[in-house]
Amino acid sequence: MKSKALANIWPEFYRVAHLPGMTWLAIETGHLVKSDAHILIVDDDKGIRDLLQEFFQKRGLHTSVAADGTEMEAILRRAQVDLIVLDVMLPGKSGLELCRDLRAQYTTPIIMLTAVTETTDRVVGLEMGADDYVPKPFDPRELLARIRAVLRRNGTTEPKRATTKQIYRFAGWTMDCSRRRLTAPDDVRVELTMAEFNLLQTFVKSAQRVLTRDQLIELSGGDSDYSFDRSIDILVSRLRRKMEDDPKTPKLILTVRSGGYQFLPETTSE
């Protein structure tokens, strides 16, 4: 039996999905993501897990579910996952703690779910490495759209297009856009999340230009609902921690007062 809490979490969806003779497909909107994309839902509410699993699978997504961090880790050890939907409030380790742990091992995109709407909690989630944040209550159709958008930006929903400029070099660094790899001057690979890579790619392609936060959101494929005021600042901070010798005195990504940001190094492409 579905959790009674579902009627409060997604009232419109719950009502429509239970109309006599109404199929799940009747409330679908938008195109499908790639059919072999694997989504992992981590939520301690069995009703939510079951409902989302059925909803996504009927729309062409291979979906696994986990009730906590232990079950999540077991799935990740045995299967390739394209995106994780992670609830903040979990038994044992919280979703924020799990997000931090995941980022130490994986670059898999993460969408956080939470009933908490405080901006500070969203900021913490993004600082931990989350790629998107969806507050409850929400419509599963919105979550599906956000999953589709994140996978599209990550290159999971459509084949990569070959271009003549896939490799960029700057200040000893090498950025391979087709393979989504960043290599440091000492030839060590630096792991970036999808959002971090997209933002850095925007900087590199617009080297030495001053870009406002709105321009960075648009050029990096961001979502205006997701990209609240501090999201770009958080991503820049994460890039600096991974790339700058001293993040407090950056030499690659500079802050321009009342302007935005500027990627300073000269860049070559091939």
Q: In this predicted model, what pLDDT tens digit does every residue of 72-119 receive, in sequence order? A: 999 998 888 999 999 998 999 999 999 989 988 888 999 998 876 666
Q: In angstroms, rounded to a whole number, what is the distance separating the alpha carbons of residues 84 and 41?
A: 6
Instruction: Specify if 22 maps to a domain.
Output: no
**Which residues fall within 8 angstroms of residue 67, CB to CB, at 6 or more apart?**
42, 43, 44, 46, 49, 91
Domain count, the chain: 2
Q: In angstroms, rounded to a whole number, what is the distance separating the alpha carbons of residues 192 and 103?
A: 9
Give me 45's structure tokens: 């509410």
Residues 198 and 226 grouped into a single domain: yes
**pLDDT by residue (tens digit) across 117-130?**
666 667 777 778 88
Q: In angstroms, rounded to a whole number, what is the distance separating the alpha carbons of residues 29 and 21?
A: 19
**pLDDT by residue (tens digit) across 191-230?**
998 889 989 999 998 899 998 888 888 777 655 444 444 6
91 conformational bin, left if phi > 0, alpha if psi -120 to 50, beta if neither: beta
pTM tops 0.75: no
Residues 127 and 204 grouped into a single domain: no
Closest CA to 109 of 129, 135, 139: 129
Residues 177 and 228 grouped into a single domain: yes
User: Which of 154, 182, 208 is at the close of a domain?
Assistant: 154
Write out the residue range of the structural domain in which residue 174 sits. Answer: 167-269
Residues 43 and 126 grouped into a single domain: yes
